[in-house]
Structure formats: structure tokens, C-alpha cells
Amino acid sequence: MEKRKVINLEDCGKERVVAHRITLIPGDGVGPEQTAAAKRVIEALAVPIEWEVLDAGIEVMDKYGTPLPDHVLESIRRNKVALKGPITTPIGTGFRSVNVALRKELNLFACLRPCKYYPGIRSKYEGVDLVVVRENTEDLYAGVEYDLGTEDARKIIAMSEGKIREDSAISIKPISVTGTRRIVKFAFDYALANNRRIVTAVAKANIMKFTDGLFYRVARQVALAYGAEFEDPRLAEGLVPDSVILDQVAGKGRGLLYQERLVDNMCMQLVQKPELYDVLVLPNLYGDILSDLCAGLAGGLGVAPGANIGDSVAVFEPTHGSAPKYKGQNKVNPTALILSGMLMLRHIGEKEAADRLEKAVAAVIAEGKYVTYDMKPHRDDPTAVGTSEMADAIIRKIEEMQ
């Protein structure tokens, strides 16, 4: 997304930049203090941003009767970009997940989870630099479920001709051509835009031959349309390039390698040699699980940024939860949210600022002096600093670069 520009006639034709309008959602739990830290860091980059700060989550339930008020959705639709702090989702009871609601309401079909090791982070894997691209709208997370004993459940059990026990609850796993094409195309486009070389499709088609089989088949046709090289040429036998996107992408992926892994084998491969992988593209459930695994390889959720992206709207947020027990303690690592801000800056065309931000974060982590407790060699290290103090250190690094 490019910066908007207008002509100021009083300046004799000189251009002046109009600020990027961005919806800022502090969240709840530790969200507000982390969001405040990230906002200060981003503002230190002197990028022209006009923040529209709106609340969502458990704190607004009494006022609006919902954790996701309509005016918040309207703001995101209008501004096209949002930076969001973590929001609590009670387990078992309480309100619907705000994250799930945002994905559905705004059709945020792609979940982007970069997992990168920065020197100074406690991790056994120093070569990790990969990206998980997760389909957000289908699969077992589509919400098509039938409770035990319901009429719909009984009908499906009857249709199964004995394959489903009568005392079962049921969840449906939809995988569509449209949804798969869209997410695999997103993965290829991301790889091309970010100098990545390998796209790995991950599923379990040896068991789920129709759903995951379709995912692989469509992914192969998309890879053919891009002109990617196949690690195993036999995968392309009998297939033609995806005709829906061929005119848009023909030949753009020459130089990219397409490969496939079964999801269980992928887990083993990631633990053994994660440095061999680049961009992983997966259906919803597998993507949810493997993205946390990959974050763990790179040092944990505290340093794992994320984004949920649609055709016209993008929401950037950390991958960790709201940690309500630490609320107001100025304790929790702000890195994941700050790096989510880095992804946001790249998305709106502020690449130079994003690069400076990443370098500043990396420098603070490498020094290891002004970092939160979870980034110290020992978690009870008395020299650990708080959320705001780590943000201050990153701001100082940014100022040193100017």
C-alpha cells in the first residue's frame, strides 16, 4: 500500500504527504501497555501515521454487549489497516473469539506468521528464518459443527453408514478450490515479494484423500501457473496450470521451488532441520499448530509477530495471548507486537522504516541488557527490564541510526 499524497496549492505545487490512517486496538490484559510501547516505537520512526484508537475485548462487554463493537469493524474497513493488541478469549465459556470474528467479518483469509531467530534469543535453533502462511477461513475451523444428539448430527451419522458412532459430536472439514487457490497464490506472491525461494505445501493427503488431496492438487496447479520448479516432477503429471490465475502470474515464479510434505513428517523435519524451509502454506488447522511450533523454534511467542490479511484489509497483531495475570505489571515482552508493527510498515509501503525498526529490535536483543525477563538467560534475573523500558531501548537504537 502506497502513501497517499495530495497537492497543496498554497505550496506552489509542492507535494505533502497525508498520514496513513491506522486503527489501533489496545486489547485487554497486557495489551494496552504493549500497544502503548509499540506505538511509541513506531512514532520514533517519524512515519506519518494518524491513529484511530478504539477499544475491543472483555473491557467493553458491559458497554456494548459485545467484545467487537460495530464501530471498530467500520473503522478497520475504512482505514484498511489495523494494529491490534492481544484480546482475552475465555476457555469454554464467555464470548466468541474476537480474532475469529475479525477474520470472518473482514474476510481475512491469510494468516501470516514469520518465525525468525535473532541472535541473543534463547533457542537451540539459530538458523530459523521461515514464514507460515495459514488459510484462515476453511477446514475444521470453519465452525460447521453439530452437537451430540442433535437432529443434524443424527442425519450425518445415518449417512455415514456405520462409520460414525451414534454417540458422536461432528465437525465438518470444508476445503475448497477457491480457498486453496487464494491462499497458495498468496504464498507464492509473498515469496516473490520477499526474496524467498521455496514454497512448501503441507497437508495429510495420504489419509484425507478428498479434502487434503484437493489442497495438494490445487496447489500444484497454482505452482504450474507460476512456472515454479517442482522438487518432484511427478507431482505435476497429468495436471495443467490453474486457468483462473494463469494470465495474471504466468512465468512469474521461475526460480521458485515447489515441494510438498505430509504434516506429521513436516513436524519432524522442522525439529531436525528447520533451516531448510522457507515459506510453508497450510490449511487452517495444520497452520495453527505448526505456526506455534515454528515460533517455539525461533524463541517463543514473545518474539513472534503475526498478520491476518484479506483482499483489502489487514490486521497486524502478536501471536501470543493477553496474559491477564500480568496486567498492569509492565513486565511482558513487547517484541512480538513491535515486530507486528514492522510487518504493518512493510504492508503500507514504509519499507525503509520497517528495516530500521527490525535492526533496532535486533540490536537490543543481541545486547541482552535492556530486555524483559523471558529473554534473560535466567527468568528470575534481577537485571530484566519492563515492557516500557525495553521499548525505550529500541527507541534509542532508532535515534542512533538517524
Specify whether the CB–CB gap between 52 and 360 falls below 8 A: no
Phi, psi of 232 (to 5 degrees): -120, 100
Specify whether the CB–CB gap between 62 and 92 falls below 8 A: no
Q: Which of 70, 147, 232, 264 is catalytic?
A: 264
DSSP classification of residue 89: -
Specify whether the CB–CB gap between 174 and 144 falls below 8 A: yes
Closest to 24 measured CA to CA, from 2, 39, 42, 40? 39
CB atoms within 10 A of CB 98: 23
Q: Which of 242, 278, 288, 292 is catalytic?
A: 288
Specify whether the CB–CB gap between 111 and 134 falls below 8 A: yes
Catalytic annotation present for 152: no
Catalytic annotation present for 84: no
Q: Which of 118, 141, 190, 216 is catalytic?
A: 141
Q: Which of 84, 204, 331, 397 is catalytic?
A: 204
Residues 6 or more apart from 335 whose CB is under 8 A from it? Answer: 302, 303, 361, 365, 375, 390
Catalytic annotation present for 288: yes
CA distance 333 to 184: 32
CA distance 401 to 356: 8
Check the CA dihedral 349-355-360-364 and report its sign.
positive
Catalytic annotation present for 189: no
CA distance 203 to 214: 10
Specify whether the CB–CB gap between 39 and 28 falls below 8 A: no
Known catalytic residues are: 141, 204, 264, 288
